[in-house]
Structures are given as C-alpha cells and as structure tokens.
C-alpha cells in the first residue's frame, strides 16, 4: 500500500483527500476511491482532465501513481488565458490613449 492525495479546488473552496491505495493504482482509480465527487457533484471522473502535481496526464485510466503523489482534478477554464491577457493589453492601450488625448486637449 502507498499513500497518495486527491485534490480539487474552486476559487473559494478546496478539498484534499488522503488515502492508501494499492501499488498499481491509476490516477482515475484514486479519484474514484477518494469519493471526492460526492463533495463536488460537478466533478466528472470520466471526462475531467487530471494531473499529478500540476502536470496534466494524457490518460488517467492508465497512468500509475507513485507514493506521495497528489492527483489534481482540473476545472474547465472560463476563458482562454491568452485572450484575457490580450483583452487587458487592449484595455490598457485604450486607457493610455485616452489619457494622452485628454492631456493634449488641456495643453
């Protein structure tokens, strides 16, 4: 047997479940054994992306765990991080242009 953790986090809440599993336990099996989805009904173990210590795994049903691993269940992104950065840059450029125009108008 080996000890692993299964973690899930929302912006305002997180849960980490520690459990002992057999040596040949997969990422998916650990999530099922943890029963963490009972606390967070939005978790879909069959389809949600998962990882170990922040590194996504391609196939949770075949990826084996090592002692001490922390399985993470990832939530879908609400927006693409690249799009958010581009939008913020555009907003900043517009603000700066507006400030420059106001400065020129008052001169």
**5-59 tens-digit pLDDT:** 999 999 899 999 999 999 999 999 999 999 999 999 999 999 999 999 999 999 9
5 forms beta bridges with 18, 70
CB atoms within 10 A of CB 82: 8
| Alpha carbon distance 54, 98 (integer Å) | 41
Query: Is 39 within 8 Å of 9 (Cβ atoms)?
Result: no
pTM tops 0.85, yes or no: no
């Amino acid at each position: 047997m080996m000890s692993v953790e299964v973690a899930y986090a929302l912006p305002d809440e997180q849960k980490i479940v520690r459990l002992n599993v057999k040596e040949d336990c997969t990422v998916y099996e650990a999530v099922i054994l943890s029963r963490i989805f009972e606390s967070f009904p939005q978790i879909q173990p069959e389809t949600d992306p998962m990882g170990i210590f922040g590194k996504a795994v391609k196939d949770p049903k075949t990826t084996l765990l090592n002692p001490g691993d922390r399985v993470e269940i990832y939530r879908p992104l609400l927006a693409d991080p690249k799009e958010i950065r581009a939008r913020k840059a555009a907003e900043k450029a517009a603000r700066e242009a507006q400030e420059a125009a106001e400065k020129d108008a008052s001169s």
